[in-house]
Amino acid sequence: MSLDRLISISDLKKIYTKKIKSILGIVNSDLRLLSSNFWNRSLEYPVVTEEVLAALILKFLLGLESSVKLGEILCEIKLSKLENFSKILKRIIASNELKPFNISGFLLFTDFKYPDTLSSEINFWNFWSERKPVEIKNFDEYFNDFMEFLSNNSLFIEYLKGLCNVDENTFNLLLEFALEKIVLVEKQIFKWYGADGFTTYDRKIYIKLFETDCPVMNKAAIFYVLLHELCHYFRRTSCLTWEDSRNCSTPETSIDGIPLSEAGNIFEIQFFGDRHRFLNKSVCEFFLSSTETLSREEYSTKFAFINRTRGRFFVSLMRGACLGEKNIVELSGCAFSKHRGYD
């Protein structure tokens, strides 16, 4: 519901604290039951609308109830005309290819306890109130190239296999299954997350459609983000339910004295020497064409060395040269990493 602009925030806070408590008192037991059905549902089966709605609404209400920043949230709601909660829910439920993305994204980021995610919440709401159709693509045009890329870089395959402890055949099946379901999504969708990739609780991988003028750099960026997301995917292959997936954590690893527990970030640092904020054109070419049998250490040192400079802007007279964006493609990281504050 919309908030009366004339009422002060401190009064609104009192009113809403009472309202939320009273709503929860009435609906808590029903919502909890349905919500727990949702979390315990097998990832193999489609979600049940009623259960998803219950899980989302319960998360929303509990988030508000436990937030020490309720006043600020109400103030933001007031300023941003956030009367669209029901529209957001409808959109989540009605979406097709983006449904796992929407559900997982909402569950992950509807977290009102942390003030630093507040602006994301608001952007999220604003975003979902827009009615623009979303541009999406499947992974078909990259599928064969990515398989060839992996076969040229067995060090990545061995690492991913190690994350899931399955035999060769099962690994290949799981990989194929993941790639076939990848959705490439226009950058606007990822904008509010400040991310380029997202592996949902039900193991569907979404990657931003990179749109530099240079197809090689777009492809390199997609593959780079995909390797990160595949770490999340293979970490979760043994999960049976949404709840398992939510609780699937990565054991802490220390790299150069820094503790890390984000599967994709650990991979990036180990194989690329850093969590890169951009890829320059030279490293994109190296990354896509490398068939060298380097050790992980040699590969990561070389990768980081080549990518040490942001390309200088120059205007090439050659047709098809990579102009714009100074010969680099920007990277933002993954949504899980953002949510955990690794940035």
337 binds Zn ion (CB under 5 A): yes
DSSP single-letter state for residue 308: T
Is 72 in contact with 18 (CB distance < 8 Å)?
Answer: no
Task: Output 83 or 252, the one with its CB closest to Zn ion.
Answer: 252
334 binds Zn ion (CB under 5 A): yes
Shortest Å, Cβ 186 to Zn ion:
20
Report which of 89, 6, 44 is spatially closest to residue 239, judged by C-alpha positions. 44
Q: Which of 264, 281, 327, 329 binds Zn ion (CB under 5 A)?
A: 264
Task: Output 268 or 325, the one with its CB closest to Zn ion.
Answer: 268
Rounded Cα distance between 137 and 152, Å, is 25
260: three-class secondary structure by DSSP:
strand
17: three-class secondary structure by DSSP:
helix
Task: Output 222 or 334, the one with its CB closest to Zn ion.
Answer: 334
Is 63 in contact with 16 (CB distance < 8 Å)?
Answer: no
Shortest Å, Cβ 111 to Zn ion:
17
Question: CB burial class (10 A; 0-12, 13-18, 19+) of residue 262?
Answer: buried
The number of CA neighbours under 13 Å toward the Cβ of 230 is 26
Rounded Cα distance between 300 and 290, Å, is 12
Task: Output 322 or 334, the one with its CB closest to Zn ion.
Answer: 334
Shortest Å, Cβ 48 to Zn ion:
28
Q: Could you tell me which stretch among 20-28, 158-166, 207-215, 259-267 binds Zn ion (CB under 5 A)? A: 259-267
Q: Which of 260, 280, 336, 338 binds Zn ion (CB under 5 A)?
A: 336
Shortest Å, Cβ 189 to Zn ion:
17
Tell me, by CB under 5 A, how many residues bind Zn ion: 4
251: three-class secondary structure by DSSP:
coil
Q: Could you tell me which stretch among 125-133, 151-159, 204-212, 264-272 binds Zn ion (CB under 5 A)? A: 264-272
- Identify residues 51-90 at the interface with Zn ion (CB under 5 A): none
303 binds Zn ion (CB under 5 A): no
Task: Output 156 or 336, the one with its CB closest to Zn ion.
Answer: 336
DSSP letters, 175-226, are HHHHHHT-EEE-HHHHHTTT-SEEE-TT--EEEE----S-HHHHHHHHHHHH
Q: For binding to Zn ion (CB under 5 A), which residues are involved?
A: 264, 334, 336-337
